[in-house]
């Protein structure tokens, strides 16, 4: 095979591979739901929750109205949840003194969540919710009712940002910073 033809063939194969990778990437991004707009009741639904902590004490989320509230719906069996928790811990450390409350709502059994919190050294508040609490996340902008899902409420209790899928520190900080 002539060197010029061979080089052209290599370029063509590389171009096709790059095109295929781009198409696959866009396809995967389509499966990830972009940030959704919540219904007006989304913030009210979240602030209306009254859930137990790891010690079994109920906490009314309405007590957080007036603060920036980051609510992350997750479960111990959820792999993307496991990946984002260290990122949330970093954000908690950086913003907790600035009036930002980071709250994990685990859709799981208390015993599994307690062990998970210890293993991952989660520094922020974690509450336990029944599986049907995922309906609250729908109102907050989670049309697929999937995990992980994060909703960010402003000081007036409105959902101003939501994200289905794992979040990293930079994206979470970018969503929080304008609210401080």
DSSP string covering 50-112: EEEBTTS-EEEGGGGTTSEEEEEEE-TT-HHHHHHHHHHHHHHHHHGGGTEEEEEEE-S-HHH
Mean pLDDT of 144-159: 95
- Do both 111 and 78 map to the same domain? yes
Which residues, 6 or more positions from 28, have their beta carbon under 8 angstroms from its beta carbon? none
Number of domains in the chain: 2
Residue 57 phi, psi dihedral angles, 5° rounding: -85, 130
Q: Per residue in 121-134, pLDDT tens? A: 999 999 999 999 99
Per-residue pLDDT at 25: 34
- Domain hosting 26: range is 1-31
Mean pLDDT of 153-164: 95
Mean pLDDT of 51-73: 97
Per-residue pLDDT at 10: 41
Specify the DSSP class assigned to residue 144. Answer: T
Between the two ends of the chain, the Cα-to-Cα distance in Å is: 65
Percent of the chain residues topping a pLDDT of 90: 76
- Do both 21 and 69 map to the same domain? no
Question: What is the CATH number for 112?
Answer: 3.40.30.10
- Do both 51 and 106 map to the same domain? yes
Residue 15 has pLDDT above 80, yes or no: no
Per-residue pLDDT at 41: 86
Provide the sign of the torsion angle of the four alpha carbons 47, 49, 92, 89, taken in this order: negative
Per-residue pLDDT at 34: 40
Lowest mean pLDDT across 13-17, 50-54, 147-151: 13-17
- Do both 52 and 115 map to the same domain? yes
- Do both 49 and 108 map to the same domain? yes
- Do both 10 and 97 map to the same domain? no
- Do both 14 and 89 map to the same domain? no
CA separation for the pair 33, 166 (Å, rounded): 11
């Amino acid at each position: 095979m002539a060197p010029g033809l061979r080089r052209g063939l290599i370029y063509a194969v590389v171009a096709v591979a790059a095109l295929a990778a781009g198409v696959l990437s866009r396809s995967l991004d389509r499966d990830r739901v972009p940030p959704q707009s919540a219904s007006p009741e989304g913030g009210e639904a979240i602030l209306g929750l009254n859930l137990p902590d790891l010690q079994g004490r109920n906490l009314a989320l309405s007590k957080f109205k007036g603060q920036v509230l980051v609510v992350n719906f997750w479960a111990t069996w959820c792999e993307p949840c496991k990946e984002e928790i260290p990122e949330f811990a970093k954000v908690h450390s950086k913003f907790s003194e600035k009036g930002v409350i980071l709250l994990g709502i685990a859709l799981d059994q208390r015993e599994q969540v307690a062990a998970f919190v210890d293993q991952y050294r989660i520094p922020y508040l974690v509450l336990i919710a029944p599986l049907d609490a995922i309906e609250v996340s729908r109102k907050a902008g989670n049309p697929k009712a999937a995990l992980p899902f994060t909703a960010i409420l402003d000081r007036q209790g409105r959902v101003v940002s939501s994200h289905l899928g794992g979040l990293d520190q930079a994206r979470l900080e970018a969503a929080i910073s304008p609210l401080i």
